Amino acid sequence: MTTELFYLLFTTILTGLLWIPVIVGRVKTRGPLKPSDYVVAPTSPLPTWVDRANRAHVNAVENLALFAPVVLIGHAAGVSTAVTVGAAAVYFYARVAHALVHITGFSLLSARTLLFTIGWIAFLTFAFELLRKTL
C-alpha cells in the first residue's frame, strides 16, 4: 500500500467514525429512536455540540468525495512523489484537527476555517502534482 492510499484509508475511517458522536448525542438527549420517529423526526433541541458534530461529519463526507478520487487516480496512474505523500499526510491531519475543533467549538482565531483551508490546499497540491506528472 502506498503512503497516499494509507492516508486515504485513515481519512475514510475518520469520516466513517464521525457519525458516532452525533448518534450518541442524539440518543443521550432524546433517547433511542422509536418506530414513530421514522415517520416524523423528533424536533426537540439538541445540544450545540451535537449540531457541530453533525456538521463536522457532513463536511468530512463532502471533502472525502474530492480527496479520494485524486488519490485513487494518482495510484492508478502510478504517481507517488514526495509532494503527493506530503499532501496526503497534511490533508489527513488537517481533517482530524478540523473535526476536533469543529466538535468542541474551539474558535481561537478562526481555527476551523484555517484547518479547512490547509486541507483544501493539500488537496489542490495533490491534484496539481498529479496533473504535472501525468500531462
Q: For residue 32, what is the DSSP state? A: S
pLDDT in tens, 81-129: 999 999 999 999 999 999 999 999 987 768 999 999 999 999 999 999 9
Burial track 22-32 (b if 16+ CB lie within 10 A, e otherwise): beebbeeebee
CATH number, domain of 10, equals 1.20.120.550
Report how many domains make up the chain: 1
Q: In this model, does residue 38 exceed pLDDT 90?
A: no
The model's pTM: 0.92
Q: In this model, does residue 21 exceed pLDDT 90?
A: yes
Q: Could you tell me if 129 and 81 are in contact, meaning their C-beta atoms sit under 8 angstroms apart?
A: yes
Residue 97 belongs to what domain range? 3-134
